[in-house]
Structure 1
Amino acid sequence: MTDIRRYSFAAVVLLVVLRLGLGWQLLYEGLWKIDTLSTSYPWSSDGYLKSAQGPMRNVFRAMTGDPDDKNWLDEELVAQRWDQWKSRFAAHYGVDERQIGRLNALIDGPSAFASPLESLPAGVDFKAAKLDGTVSFDAKAKQLRVDGKKHLLATEKATLEEQVADKEGAEYDNYRKALNDVFTRASKLSYKERTRAHLMGNPDNSGNINGRISQLKLYSEMVERYEDKLSAAHITFEMDHLNRVWSDARAKGRELAGPIMAMDVELKEDAMDILSVDQLKRGPLPAPWTPIKIVDTLTIAGLAGLGILLIIGLFTRFAAFSAAFMVFGFYMAMPPLPGVPDAPGPEHSFIVNKNLIEVLALLALASVPSGQWFGMDNLLGRVFSGKSKSAAK
């Protein structure tokens, strides 16, 4: 056991207080992040890592799995993401066939939209309106049906209404009502169709306007331009220009990916409406183990676990060194080094910032046996010391 008399009383007290303070700060950070996990806006390191700068920028950004949110701009990847989520959702809540049908209708759309109709009145001719592949009448089911993948446009509905514009009677009134009902239902797009409409149906996004660059391609070029200029920027005005370029690129990315991310949230909220009370008692659907979830889990566990070890003084040197290593990672994600763009926020630092100071303080704690002075390390030392003496006898 280290002789405490080698240190002054003031040094011992201050180092123990420093250890407790740093331990509490780490623990509280971890607990706060845990508390947010049950809210609508759970904490994630995603934004922090995507904004990483400095010599390890690519390493930290790669931890997110999709540093530029381009996966949200790929229709096939979004569809695949939702199909995988649907499988996990169905398995977690044990949904029945009826609920699966409603879930499929939300994501992929129904095979057909239907409205009750006893009979098709005379004068209605879907083929003459060139809609025989879109609209049909099921005499057996007594339904007016619209193909789920083709929908029904307002102009097409108007064409069908014109066929019976001068007709009167209950039979025609029922037809008009059924046509209005099925048109309203067919106007609602599935989530996959809404994604396709946003990415490809918008001519400005897809580049379907002659002479105009696709907004999706423009975003990719903005990101590439920033990456190309980043290594060459050294002086202040170049950094300022780079910050504006990056800000514009991120704004364009949010403009394109934001609506699809919002659809993702909306889909999951709509899906909860199909569940019974008993199914809801199973709790929220666990998120899949994506790269960013692994990083977030390790960060939270590290903050809380190392904070506890520092507070109780157990394995103190190991805990202090490990915490220093972790916080140094935070520092390297946005280091205030020469030639590195400034980190967002009110803090202004050069080389040394709060994270680096915390690293140095933790390394100082790792160099002294503060857990032996006040903590569980002292108790463990006494236990093992007693066993050694007993064995020697």
Structure 2
Amino acid sequence: MLIMRQVGFSRRSLLQATLGAPALHGTSANDRIQIGVIGAGSRGSALMREVAAAKSANAVITAICDVYRSNRERAAEFVAKTWGIKPRQTVDYKELLGWREVDAVLIATPDFGHSIILKDAVTAGKDAYCEKPMGVDFAEAKAAYLAVRQSDRVVQIGTQRRSEPRMVAAARLIRSGVLGQVTRVEMSVNFHEPRWRRDYTQIRPEDVAWPQFLMHRPSRPFDARRFREWQLFRDYTNGIAGLWMCHFIDLVHWFLEDPYPAGAVANGGVYLWKDGRETSDVFHALLDYPKGFLVSFAMSLTNAAGNRNLWFGTRGTFDADAMKITGQGSRAPDRLTEEITVAEEPVNSHMENFLECVRTRRTPRADIQAGFSHAVAVCMAGLALDMGRKVRFDRERLELIL
């Protein structure tokens, strides 16, 4: 059972944060979008570089929050070199959300913090770019989803494939019906390595704000391994479903325009890497959808034989790795007779799209609905693995049926 340790905003602090947050409606093109970074590790650093590369967006990073001293200092140095300013720093994301010099936030913490921080961000009046997965705990993901829907904040989820030129073209083709009726999608990702194992021998407790790292997760003494290798422990992730499946199941919702699975089953375990990890090194989920198709997602860390990303329709097959659509497998009279190579379509980057929408108040490509849809799927698959039985979803009530 989780110990809810997170200290909530007071009514007064929330009101002050909301009133103090600059609204960008009607902001002139000469005004900079001021950004706070929550989580400045490897992924957060990559997002900072994307902001710097988006020259036309006229954005600047003004604040850094990270629980690890090394990350904060490195991020502050990057900001100083890139924009010539000294950003404010903190270990407490709620403090950052109260700062007037922050219009929008980039959320790139470990996965278990995404939903809660996103909910708090929009409640505090901030726009947000939230890394994937949008959530790994269903109740937290739903609360964040409802908070965003009830706000006027711009939220982009970090499923960057929605801004990849060839994926944009593929989505258009599949949604046009080129494959006919799609009844099955098969996705497989394979490595032969103990992913997420990292060196933690140099991590010193005095450099880590440990309570802020744990947030609402169970309290425990400082543990450098859990801090550095959180992906291996169930207090902080639901495993491969959240860590990897979110990338791929998002394509299903996007391409086939069906936002939630009807049901999910899963199996897997730790079969090879007996290193104390609590998350599977082999995982396989099957998800069925109301429109009438089945999705298979499998991943292993035990053999790198290759990946598969195949979409089977009545008129042919789409190979999303090769980016080719052919009539292979179809015996229908209207099967495809010529191979289609998916070409790139002009599109700006995922970060540019977010910053553009912050300024224009339009809906970004990977909006909160896209994020909640993949969160529902990964939560269903993770729970199905844990419980050993099928998990269903009531899309009218937005509730899991266990």
**TM superposition score category, shorter chain reference:** under 0.3
Larger radius of gyration: 1
Normalising by structure 1, report the TM-score: 0.20
Bigger helix share: 1
Q: Which has the higher strand share?
A: 2
